[in-house]
Structure 1
Amino acid sequence: MIKRILLFITLILQFSFLHAGIVILNGLTHSYKIENGKVYKGKIGIENTGNTAQSVKLFLQDFAYNADGTTHYTALHTNKRTNGDWIKLNTNLITLKGKEKTEVFYEITVPDQVVDPGSYWSVVIVEPVDDIKPSDNKPGVNITSVIRYAIQVITDYETEKAKPDLKFESVKVEKEDGKQTAKIAIANKGNLYCKPTASIEIYNRKTGEKLGTYASLTMGLLPSTSKTFYIDISKIPPDKYRAMIMATDEEENAFALNVDLEVKND
């Protein structure tokens, strides 16, 4: 099922640990700044690292995710800011020989009038499939799915008139991989894709002394989606603190929240 795609499959792809033998060579996010009526061209590099031939099919879906870890791959037009209708792939099915590389090309045809500034997006699903075999039970062929990859195609229109609007949904301190971790859920309520980093400044409640500043990894955040940002604060001893949490994107837009924070022994 498409919903089983892992959000962090990028790392797996980089080190080619996938048993299926198919890897994406040029990233899982393709971004474009667009203008009305223009055509933009892109490509998806695919390699079969295995020794045997592998068939691969490609198709478009809408895409969203939430801070609770759920990811949704749905039919086009589920997302009101989809650009799936703008994208045309030059093929929907390829077969790669063992160790072979290829490129699948696509065109983005922007409508003559995009009404609302901001980001529009969809994903190209790249799905290795079993060899096409005759069915013993019914006429035709059976295609059995192996694993799928989602390549985001993000198009930004009139970015000077759009902006992210980051909201803090929740702040928790919990053990993660044996370390005390601040888990900060952030939603993008704006209309522009951004890449925020979450940080936390921790202060002694009695003296006001600053004990340290800690930061998360940077992650992309589409409009109307949310993610949980993880910050290792295991160096802070158990106690109650004051803290300022910030989310800062690559354009240095900053959003802040003051909270009481408790680091427990367990």
Structure 2
Amino acid sequence: MNASFIKRIIFFVFFAIITGNHLIAQDFELAPAKLLYSAEPGENQSKTISVKNHGSKKQSFLFAIYDYIPSGNGGKNVLPPNTTKRTCANWLNINPSFFDLNPGEEKTITVTMMVPSNEYMSAWCMLYVQPVQEQTAANVAKGISAGMKLAGRIGITVNQTPKSNTNQQVKIYNLKEIPATKQGTLTFSGAIDNLGESITSCKTFMLVTNLETLEEKKYSEMELETFPKNTREVVFTIPELLPKGIYSIAAIVDYGSKTSLEGAEIRYEVK
């Protein structure tokens, strides 16, 4: 099947369900949901993906690579490959990138990261797998483009940070109260800046201290990912109203640093 044939495709909207570390679409399953590489410059590193056909018919599958820009709310703005500064789209080799699966059959795909010798920075991209069908003669006669029709797709995040890249620096600031979305709760927002050069996983939580009784409570624990030179918005929820008093409300970020935790604090009075 030639390249021009594969390029003539029609995209359809799909819905995918993330279950644990597996991605499940209507008729196929993909695992894991994320590929994390730590290859040094000039080094090759391989990971595997499993694809399983849950449909009742033989199905063809195709891999495609895209770039993305992390958004402030934790989402991804997907873009064509090799169009962003920190792309690793050209560093991937997928074997095989096109294959068939019988009903109930599962296949292991090898994805190799080949890092150029001068690339020390973190890089990332998206890897999509999508079932495909050849267009029938009847559809072509109706004016539908000849070639291949894509029935849906699900994506895997691909992150690459050299093991020697230990430049991690995270800062949280601009902590403030915002309108609560649910009655009987308190909501606060903050901003997390990744000032380093490494994709960094963070654990965050809110620590509330009654300054009169010194009683402390921890709320809104979560884990998130931050990207170099990007700002991530974070929302903390206290699922109850606080009694009268004066409080210290601190948003804490633990990113595995050997130094002290990062935090932002405000005074909060309940009258």
TM-score tier after normalising by the smaller chain length: 0.7 to 0.9
Aligned to 1:10: 18
Residue matched to 1:125? 128
Partner of 2:29: 23
Matching of residue 199 in structure 1 with residue 202 in structure 2: no
Query: Offset of 1:79 from its aligned partner?
Result: 2.5
8 Å contact 1:166–1:186 — kept in the other structure? yes
> Which amino acid in structure 2 is aligned with residue 259 of structure 1?
I
Does the residue aligned with 1:85 lie in a helix, a strand or coil?
A: helix
1:107 corresponds in structure 2 to 112
Deviations 1:71-123 (A, max 9, x none): 21112233312111111112332222211101222222121222xx4422212
Query: How far off its partner does 1:182 sit?
Result: 4.0
Q: Distance in 2 between matches of 1:120 and 1:113?
A: 13
* 1:248 paired residue number: 254
Per-residue CA deviations over 1:170-190 (Å, capped at 9, x if unaligned) read 544454566544444434232
Cα distance, 1:166 vs structure 2:
3.3
1:166 aligns with 171
Structure 2 Cα separation of the partners of residues 202 and 90 of structure 1: 51
**How many matched pairs?**
254
Match of 2:3 in 1: none
Gaps of 5+ in 1: none
- Report how far residue 132 of structure 1 moved: 1.9
Note if contact 1:189-1:223 (Cα within 8 Å) is conserved in structure 2.
yes
- Give how far 1:231 is off: 3.9
Q: For residue 82 of structure 1, what is the aligned residue in structure 2?
A: 87
Q: Deviations over 1:130-178 (max 9, x none)?
A: x2222231562241342x2221222212545421333446544454566
Contact 2:65 2:127 in 1 (8 A): yes
**Matches of 2:234 and 2:103, distance apart in 1:** 39
Q: Is the 8 A contact 1:67 1:186 kept in 2?
A: no
The residue aligned with 2:264 is 257
Task: Give yes or no for contact 1:121–1:155 (8 Å, CA) kept in 2.
Answer: yes
Whole-Å Cα distance in 2 between the matches of residues 235 and 169 of structure 1? Answer: 22
Larger radius of gyration: 2
Deviation of 1:201 (Å): 1.2
Contact 2:36-2:158 within 8 A present in 1 as well = yes
Deviation at 1:237, TM superposition (A): 2.6
Query: Are the structure 2 counterparts of residues 137 and 56 from structure 1 closer, same or farther at C-alpha, using a change threshold of 3 Å?
Result: same
> Identity of paired residues, percent?
17
Contact 1:159–1:192 (CA under 8 A) maintained in structure 2: no
| Structure 1 residues 59 and 15: alpha-carbon distance in aligned structure 2, compared to 1, 3 A threshold | closer
The letter for the 2-side match of 1:87 is: L
Q: State yes or no: 1:94 paired with 2:96.
A: no
Instruction: Quote the offset at 1:36 in angstroms.
Output: 2.4
C-alpha distance in structure 1 between counterparts of 2:193 and 2:17, whole Å:
22
* SS class of match (2:19): helix
Q: Which residue, out of 36, 39, 44, partners 2:44?
A: 39
What is the deviation of 1:65? 2.4
Distance 1:156 1:259, change over 3 A: same
- Assess if the C-alpha contact under 8 Å between 2:202 and 2:226 holds in 1: yes
- Aligned-partner residue type, residue 49 of structure 2: I
1:33–1:242 CA distance, 2 compared to 1 (3 A): same
Q: SS at 1:157's partner residue? A: coil
CA distance in 2, matches of 1:225, 1:84: 20
Q: Which amino acid aligns with 1:246?
A: I
